[in-house]
């Protein structure tokens, strides 16, 4: 029984680490403070704190990670568009979303083929990964992995806190 519990705990830790981002990063100062995401979006740190919830600020600006299975967007499969919670840029569509079984919203591609989501090499936590950020505001979204079940073979593992959802208006689809 103890071995079974130990194996279950180990599997949980491995699953959790598959989409984790570091909550701290190295800074040029001697303090242990977290480095704020640099961006050309021209918002000060104080402006970001006024427009984002503390949880969104931690994820988008400090590269934090929300706990798995806590975002309502993880189980949302309504028709619509997922936008950056920081700047409103359209990033993903509901047709690109799938159940990644990892506890975070998962997508197989981004809108625009790479001009809205920037990919950055991430060597933190002793592993090589690709971080994804909003190309407009630099907000941390999550990571991309090459284990997706769709034709692209990719899984954009995204913090739900970094997104807002715009549900597709039924009237707009009927008028077309």
Active site residue 137: no
Secondary structure (DSSP) of 7-18: HHHHHHHHHHHT
Q: Distance (Å, rounded) from C-alpha 37 to C-alpha 62? A: 6
| Count of CB atoms situated within 10 Å of the CB of 108 | 19
Contacts for 42 with CB less than 8 Å, ≥ 6 apart: none
Secondary structure (DSSP) of 154-171: -EEEE-GGGEEEEEPPHH
For residue 67, the 8-state DSSP code is P
Residue whose C-alpha is closest to residue 16's, from 122, 79, 78, 102: 102
Task: For residue 169, count CB atoms less than 10 angstroms from its CB and return exposed for 0-12, middle for 13-18, buried for 19 or more.
Answer: exposed
Query: Which residues are known to be catalytic?
Result: 157
């Amino acid at each position: 029984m103890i071995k079974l519990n130990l194996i279950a705990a180990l599997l949980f830790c491995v699953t959790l680490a598959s989409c984790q981002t570091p909550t701290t990063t190295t800074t040029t100062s001697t303090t242990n403070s977290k480095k704020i995401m640099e961006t050309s979006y021209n918002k000060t740190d104080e402006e970001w704190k006024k427009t984002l919830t503390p949880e969104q600020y931690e994820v988008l600006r400090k590269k934090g990670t929300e706990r798995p299975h806590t975002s309502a967007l993880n189980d949302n499969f309504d028709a619509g568009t997922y936008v950056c919670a920081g700047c409103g840029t359209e990033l993903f569509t509901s047709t690109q979303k799938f159940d990644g079984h990892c506890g975070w919203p998962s997508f197989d591609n981004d809108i625009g083929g790479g001009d809205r989501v920037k990919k950055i090499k991430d060597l933190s936590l002793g592993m090589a990964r690709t971080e994804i950020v909003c190309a407009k505001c630099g907000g941390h979204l999550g990571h991309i992995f090459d284990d997706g079940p769709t034709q692209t073979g990719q899984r954009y593992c995204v913090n739900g806190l970094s997104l807002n959802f715009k549900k597709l208006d039924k009237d707009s689809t009927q008028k077309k």
